[in-house]
A = this chain, B = another copy of it.
Amino acid sequence: MLKAKLLCSCTDRTGIVSALTAFVAEYAGNIIDLDQHSEEDTGRFFMRLVWDISSSRLGKEEIPGAIALVAKKFDDMRWALSFGDEAARVAIFCSKTRHCLYDLLLRKQLGEMGNCEIAAVISNHENLRNVTEHFGVQFYHVPVAEADRGEAEQRQREILRANNVDLVVLARYMRILSPEFTADYENRVINIHHSFLPAFVGANPYAQARQRGVKIIGATAHYVTPALDQGPIIAQDVMHVSHRDAVADLVRKGRDVERQVLSKAVRLHLARRILVDGNRTIVFE
């Protein structure tokens, strides 16, 4: 079975589902999964369509053009098409912290991340080269000078281009990307914020949490936008804490929830389950 996956969104009107599913039925194969959602308050239409193209009358290369023809009927439709035999190419950015990097590399090895390739790990430190290479992945050390971030970003972009990278995952990468970078990679950079946003924005959230005496801590995975920590939220989760948890315990619990949330967000992205609408996500889990 070879799957095609279509994500699309537009202003809602009658006939969108019918037009797309009729096209699939007539030319392109058998539908496996369809999730569709129209929002009454915003008038927006969202759909995820997965079908088996192994019995398609169209060649794989003809399908995008055909989808484009159907999409033309609906003025403002934005759509993205992918095929199950095309592995997404992922780059992981990290600094010194290792738990998220290990988690992503191990899950990839266990076959949990779907059809993808970890094309590169890029770090501003050397210390995780050994971890990266243990999993057979190419490691790039790109130091980032405080004074001239631009030079580092230029090098990072070269690596991304050379490796045909589709998705950048910030696995506790401690440097801020420029607005130009995040604009060019719109909805293709996923970050893990070690807090339950919008609470405790900014540095050292666990110390803040301990001081405020909260009973829950969390983590948030989001697409990166030029506005720091304000991008569309993909996934969040929490853990219960108590007065017995010292800051070190909060950090440990935080690591667990960060791993879970980041890997979930990446898996959802790679499975083409996320649509971005303004500053929100529609996640067809």
Contact = CB atoms under 8 A, between A and B. Distances in A.
Nearest to A231: B213
A38 B29 contact: no
Contact of A38 (B15, B21, B32, B110): B32
A117 interface: no
A139 B214 CA distance: 34
Contacts of A183: none
Q: Which of A24, A98, A134, A213 has the most CB of B within 10 A?
A: A213
A280 interface: yes
B243 A282 contact: yes
A212 interface: yes
Interface in A109-155: 110, 112, 134
B233 A213 contact: yes
A236 B213 contact: no
A18 B13 contact: no
A14 interface: yes
A40 to B, nearest CB: 7
A250 interface: no
Contacts of A260: 256
Contact of A246 (B1, B41, B237, B256): B41
B13 A30 contact: yes
A238 B38 CA distance: 26
A232 B213 CA distance: 7
A72 interface: no
B14 A29 contact: yes
Interface stretch (A157-165, A171-179, A195-203): A195-203
Nearest to A248: B111
A25 B33 contact: no
Contacts of A110: 98-99, 252, 255
Nearest to A263: B256
A236 B252 contact: no
A12 interface: yes
A35 B38 contact: no
A171 to B, nearest CB: 14
A267 to B, nearest CB: 9
Interface in A1-44: 1, 12-19, 21-22, 24-26, 29-41
Given A196-B196, A256-B260, 5 more contacts: A17-B25, A18-B31, A31-B36, A198-B214, A218-B238
Interface of A: 1, 12-19, 21-22, 24-26, 29-41, 46-47, 55, 98-99, 102, 106, 110, 112, 134, 196-200, 211-216, 218, 232-238, 242-244, 246, 252, 255-256, 260, 279-283, 285
